[in-house]
Amino acid sequence: MLDLGLDVLLKGTNMVRLLQGLWVAMQISLVSIAISMPLGILAGGLMTMKNRLVRFIFRIYLEFIRIMPQLVLLFIVYFGSTRVFGWNLSGESASVIVFVLWGTAEMGDLVRGALISIPKHQYESSEALGLSKLQTYRYVIIPQTVRRLIPLAINLITRMIKTTSLVLMIGVVEMLKVAQQIIEANRMTSPNAAFGVFLIVFILYFLACWPISMLARYLEKRWR
């Protein structure tokens, strides 16, 4: 029989630990997304403001965050912040900070895109119907924006979950690090563990992200 090295997962609490590792990753992304949603909506609103300075500042922020690989941002916050500001961050808090910065930028851009995608005549028609500005937003603009936004925001969640695989590199013990530990502790008894364990990690990431992607696609189709 071909030894795929799957047996190590049945030893001790290995499988449970792997799932706990996934849960760490999920927690980081869920907390980050929960914080970046309101912040991103705020940022998106500010980005559509007429004030040039505000728009310029947000533009720089957005471009920088989106251009830098997330791994670089993680390194800057995790190692750089202590050097420059004397903050002492755990790997987990550093990850949440980076993911919130990144999530806010992405979310802000999505909100901005959704807001400017609402045709001007919608505003004008509402006004013609005698709706106040508040009412226009409350009953016309925001419901439409939200419909366009939610599928994209859900997609952002899967992107975050996938990106959490990087936090391994700043010392957070998440699923990949647990996988390495399991392989290392069983190197003698199960030399092919690297195949089986990394395969399971691959599948678990897929199982975590796929349903969320499906939901996003379903909502996108339904609300379009």
Partner 1 sequence: MKNLKKLLALSLAFVLAIGVSACGSSTKDGGSDTSASGKEVYRTLDEIKKDGTINIGVFSDKNPFGYVDENGEYQGYDVYFADRLAKDLGVKVNYVSTEAANRIEYLQTGKVDVILANFTVTEERAEEVDFANPYMNVSLGVVSRDDNVITSLDNWNKDDSIIVISGTTAETYLTKNYPDIPLQKFDSYATAKEAFENGTSVAWANDNTEVIAFSLQNKGYTVGIPELGSADSIAPAVTKGNDTLLNWINDEITSLGEENFFHADYEATLADTYGMDYEDSLVVEGGKTE
Partner 2 sequence: MNWDFIMEYLPMYERAAILTVKLGLIGIAFAVLVGLICAMIQYHKIPVARQIVAVYIELSRNTPLLVQLFFIYYGLPKLGLQFGPELCGIIGLAFLGGSYMAESFRSGLETIEPIQRESALSLGMTNRQTMQYVILPQAVSISVPAFVANVIFLLKETSVFSAISLMDLMFTAKDLIGLYYKTIESLFLLVVFYLIILLPVSILGSLLERRLRHAGFGA
Binding site for partner 2 (CB under 8 A): 2, 4-5, 63, 66-72, 75-76, 79-80, 83-84, 158, 162-166, 168-169, 176, 179, 191-192, 194-199, 201-202, 205-206, 209-210, 213
- Check residue 87 for interaction with partner 1 (CB under 8 A): yes
Q: Residue 104 in contact with residue 43, Cβ under 8 Å?
A: yes
- Check residue 212 for interaction with partner 1 (CB under 8 A): no
Give backbone dihedrals phi and psi of 130, rounded to 5 degrees, phi first.
90, 15
The 10 Å Cβ neighbour count of residue 48 is 16
Q: At what angle do helices 193-223 and 175-185 cross, to 10 degrees?
A: 160
User: In sequence order, what DSSP letters do the residues of 10-51 get, joined into one string?
Assistant: GSTTHHHHHHHHHHHHHHHHHHHHHHHHHHHHHHHHHHTSS-
Residue 54 contact among partner 2, partner 1, none, beta carbon within 5 to 8 Å by kind: none
Give backbone dihedrals phi and psi of 89, rounded to 5 degrees, phi first.
-110, 140
- Min dist CB 10 to partner 1, Å, is 10
CB of 69 or CB of 191, closer to partner 1: 191
Residue 156 contact among partner 1, partner 2, none, beta carbon within 5 to 8 Å by kind: none
- Check residue 79 for interaction with partner 1 (CB under 8 A): yes
Q: Which residue has the tokens 């980076």?
A: 98
CB of 83 or CB of 222, closer to partner 2: 83
Q: How far apart are CA 29 and CA 122, in angstroms?
A: 35
CB of 31 or CB of 212, closer to partner 1: 31
- Min dist CB 224 to partner 2, Å, is 13
Give, for 162, the enclosing helix (H) or strand (E): helix 142-163
- Check residue 119 for interaction with partner 1 (CB under 8 A): no
- Check residue 55 for interaction with partner 1 (CB under 8 A): no
CB of 38 or CB of 69, closer to partner 2: 69
